[in-house]
């Protein structure tokens, strides 16, 4: 441990104070020899260390511009070398960049600044993309329940005993050990051909999708695909990326402050609901959900031909995916605000389709060696009867 005696001027008075200074790891321990008072000074607070006439001087950074910097004068050269070395180690890298930046031409400064900004944006995006991993899954369920209640205020839920039995059977069949949520699958009374996956296991199928399906395998493929979105928490990931800090702040408050109800702000929950209903998944999310769907179907020996036919037909039939631009809402909700808020897009608007997705399932079909399961044979034989049991849409 290095130590020296020194004269100190604290900047508040002109009186000299005699002190002992010790180097303690990354700080200086200053002891007043008269009063015994001790103060620890971080190396970060040192403004300069230099020779001054026949001795050495340490100047501290001044917190208040109206007060002069504190100064220490001493003659111990070995102490000077040690403290100077430690201080330089902490400042050399910063000084290097400052000196380098100040000497390069202006166009290079602009280029360096642009690259540094891009790197910061990328790092921020990566951090934001992975933030969802820190969010407990209970918030998926809590948010999904909130949105589910709001959607049911705007839309009629379509039911029939035959269809309810099929949906229940599909949910039980396609759920597996990797699913972290208990799925709640509902059918919205609307001619729109679409499906929505909400956080927490809530899946909405539109009756237009079911009415236009040719067999139960098509609907099973769509359900398996939506389960993939839920399982990978794509909704939460997109919320973090797009709504950003408002959503993250809400989550952090809910995690850290016990007893605080999150998602109670009506405007925030409405914004989240609108975002998720209109959500367009990225191609990477769609591919990830497709992989999970293929795995679920293969495990239960359900042919992927259904989802191949569904995607192929959608990409060709414009009348099928655009039956009506307006969603069908409950009759008592007539305000223009609600009508514009819940205009439902078609399937291809929210689930980007491309030839690669169809080719992916065609490859999976070629790999399916085992005979198809007979689990849904009854539904295959009676599919028209089952889907027609739902109320007709306009």
- How far apart (Å, rounded) are the C-alpha atoms in residues 317 and 73? 86
Lowest mean pLDDT among 36-50, 195-209, 330-344: 330-344
> Quick one: pLDDT at residue 85?
85
Kindly report the average pLDDT of the chain as a whole number.
80
Is the Cβ–Cβ distance between 203 and 185 less than 8 Å? yes
Tokens encoding 96: 């290097």
Residue 338 CA to residue 330 CA, distance in Å, equals 11
How far apart CA 194 and CA 205 sit, in angstroms, is 6
Question: CB of 9 within 8 A of CB of 17?
Answer: yes
First-residue to last-residue Cα distance in the chain: 87
* pLDDT tens for each residue of 177-234: 888 899 999 999 988 888 989 889 999 999 999 999 999 999 999 999 999 999 999 8
pTM of the entire predicted model: 0.62
Measured in degrees and rounded to the nearest 5, phi and psi for residue 105 equal -60, 160
Which numeric CATH code is attached to 3-101? 2.30.29.30
**Domain residue ranges of the chain, discontinuous segments joined by +:** 3-101, 104-134, 137-387
The strand pair at 184-188 and 202-206 is best described as parallel
The pLDDT tens digits of the residues spanning 121-159 come to 888 777 766 777 777 788 888 888 888 888 888 888 998
**CB distance 8 to 19 below 8 Å:** yes
Q: Could you give the CA distance from residue 38 to residue 353 in angstroms, rounded to a whole number? A: 70
Q: Per-residue b/e over 336-353, b at no fewer than 16 CB within 10 Å?
A: eeeeebbebbbbbebbeb
Q: How does DSSP classify residue 72?
A: E
Distance of CA 143 to the CA centre of its chain: 14
Spell out the long-range contacts of 382-385 with Cβ–Cβ below 8 A and sequence spacing 24 or more.
383/213, 383/214, 383/215, 383/216, 385/162
Note the pLDDT of residue 325: 44
Torsion angle, CA of 212/218/221/225, rounded to 10 degrees? Answer: -20
Lowest mean pLDDT among 29-38, 101-110, 173-182: 101-110
Residue 337 has pLDDT above 50, yes or no: no
Burial (CB < 10 A; 0-12, 13-18, 19+), residue 293, is buried
Residues 244, 201, 299: CA angle, nearest 5 degrees: 120
- Strand-pair partners of 220: none
Please give the Cα distance from 116 to 112 (Å, whole number): 6
To the nearest whole percent, how much of the chain has pLDDT over 70?
A: 74
Percentage of the residues of the chain whose pLDDT score is greater than 90: 30
Q: Kindly report the three-state secondary structure assignment for every residue of 301-334.
A: CCCCHHHHHHHHHHHHCHHHHCCCCCCCCCCCCC
Residues making up the chain, counted from first to last: 394
What gap in Å lies between CA 217 and CA 287, rounded to an integer? 19
Give the pLDDT of residue 219.
96
CB 193 within 8 A of CB 208: yes
């Amino acid at each position: 441990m290095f130590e020296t005696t020194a004269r100190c001027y604290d900047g508040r008075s002109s009186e000299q104070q005699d002190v002992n200074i010790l180097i303690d790891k990354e700080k200086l321990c200053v002891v007043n020899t008269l009063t015994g008072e001790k103060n620890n000074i971080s190396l970060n607070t040192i403004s300069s260390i230099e020779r001054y006439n026949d001795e050495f001087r340490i100047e501290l950074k001044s917190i208040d511009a109206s007060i002069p910097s504190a100064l220490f004068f001493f003659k111990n050269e070995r102490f000077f070398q040690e403290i100077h070395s430690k201080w330089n180690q902490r400042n050399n890298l910063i000084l290097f960049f400052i000196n380098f930046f100040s000497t390069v031409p202006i166009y290079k400064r602009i280029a360096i600044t642009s690259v540094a900004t891009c790197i910061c944006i990328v790092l921020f995006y990566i951090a934001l993309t992975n933030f969802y991993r820190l969010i407990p899954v209970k918030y998926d369920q809590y948010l999904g329940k909130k949105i589910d209640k709001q959607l049911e205020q705007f839309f009629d839920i379509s039911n029939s005993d035959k269809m309810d039995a099929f949906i229940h059977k599909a949910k039980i069949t396609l759920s597996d050990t990797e699913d972290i949520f208990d799925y709640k699958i509902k059918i919205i009374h609307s001619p729109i051909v679409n499906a929505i996956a909400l956080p927490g296991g809530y899946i909405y199928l539109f009756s237009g999708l079911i009415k236009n399906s040719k067999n139960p395998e098509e609907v099973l493929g769509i359900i398996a695909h939506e389960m993939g979105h839920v399982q990978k928490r794509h909704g939460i990931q997109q919320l973090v990326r797009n709504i950003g800090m408002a959503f993250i702040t809400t989550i952090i408050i809910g995690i850290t402050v016990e007893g605080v109800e999150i998602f109670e702000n009506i405007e925030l929950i409405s914004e989240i609901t609108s975002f998720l209903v209109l959500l367009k998944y990225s191609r990477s999310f769609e591919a990830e959900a497709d992989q999970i769907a293929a795995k679920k179907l293969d495990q239960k020996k359900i042919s992927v031909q259904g989802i191949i036919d569904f995607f192929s037909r959608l990409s060709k039939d414009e009348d099928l995916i655009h039956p009506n631009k307006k969603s069908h809402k409950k009759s008592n909700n007539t305000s223009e605000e609600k009508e514009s808020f819940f205009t439902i897009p078609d399937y291809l608007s929210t689930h980007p389709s491309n030839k690669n997705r169809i080719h992916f399932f065609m490859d999976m079909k070629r790999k399916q060696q085992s005979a198809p399961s007979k689990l849904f044979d009854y539904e295959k034989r009676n599919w028209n009867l089952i889907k027609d049991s739902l109320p007709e849409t306009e």
